[in-house]
Structure 1
């Protein structure tokens, strides 16, 4: 074999290796892109507590919301320790099983925590699926004691307070909470 033959064989081998590396990189890049698109467009269903103040009253709500970009069907919601509303003695959200929640949609329920004796650190487990039947699980820990140090600016209207002022204060609180 002559030198030119060896050069041609070496060029073919280098070309083959370069092509294989390019195919492997392209394949991994496509998988990563697909994963990134799926993650960016998946549902994110979470539970949180929020306080809303209207006039002198502060009301606590338990909210389940889909922060994702696609809808989800709730498979199950479990929490520990048991969660019961003090007034109605009901367990919120347990009947949402097999319920579809659209992107941005939320369900909220007013809850009443009378005093620190009823407060807990609760763990919520949410299992849900998207339209492609991919299963997702979220574990959310809510520390009900954390809001006890928050300060709310209370306003108490009296009979001399104008209706516009009362509406303005209520609207300000709703805007602040972004409900």
Structure 2
């Protein structure tokens, strides 16, 4: 029977077959593209909670332990675990009050850490996003990172103590934005 098909019919059958294959391939590519786009949007909008130690030096040094949501959506802190007791952190080395706390985008929780604390330690933070996905990250911190940094302030004798203090604060503010 195939032997009796004329060339015109064969061309039409071939065209239909090729068109169908191209359509199926296009649909597959579109579905994959939509999945990748959906994942990219989810990744771009998920919370990202991290912790770090920072210092403020305005007239004197102060160190702070900071947990911040760098992401674009809220997250709930489920658990905070330290690999050792850091007595100079928070109240008696504990910040358990943050468990169950929701951190909005760019929101942070800050607690003092003693300036003379110089240990290295690890913090494991477990949190969940708005879709109830649970994320666990461990951060290795060095609380002595600023122990050999030098602090200087400028005191001009022809200016009052208050003016010198304001000048030094402005200098430190400017320095933070370098």
Given the alignment of the two structures, is residue 120 of structure 1 paired with residue 123 of structure 2, yes or no?
no
39, 61, 65: which one aligns with 1:62? 65
Q: 1:87 to 1:121 in 2, by over 3 A?
A: closer
Residue 89 (structure 1) aligned to one of 78, 92, 98: 92
Q: 1:34 to 1:87 in 2, by over 3 A?
A: closer
Q: Greater relative contact order (Cα 8 A, min sep 6): structure 1 or 2?
A: 1
Equivalent pair of 1:52/1:174 in contact (CA under 8 Å): no
Partner of 1:109: 111
Q: Alignment RMSD, CA only?
A: 2.5
- Taking the aligned partners of 2:155 and 2:137, their CA distance within structure 1 comes to 40
**CA deviation string 1:129-151 (max 9, x = no partner):** 12221222222111234333433
5+ residue gaps, structure 1, are: none
1:1-179 map, 5 Å = 1-55=5-59, 57-85=60-88, 88-91=91-94, 93-114=95-116, 118-155=117-154, 161-174=160-173, 176-177=175-176
SS of corresponding position for 1:62: strand
Q: Distance in 2 between matches of 1:81 and 1:157?
A: 45
Q: TM-score when scaled to structure 2?
A: 0.84
Larger Rg: 2
Count of residues paired in the alignment:
173
Q: Distance in 1 between matches of 2:57 and 2:86?
A: 23
Output one character per residue of 1:91-134: Cα deviation in whole Å (capped at 9) or x when no partner: 2x3221111111111111111142xxx53322211111122212
Residues 77 and 99 of structure 2 are in contact (CA less than 8 Å); yes or no, is this contact kept in structure 1? yes
Distance 1:59 1:132, change over 3 A: same
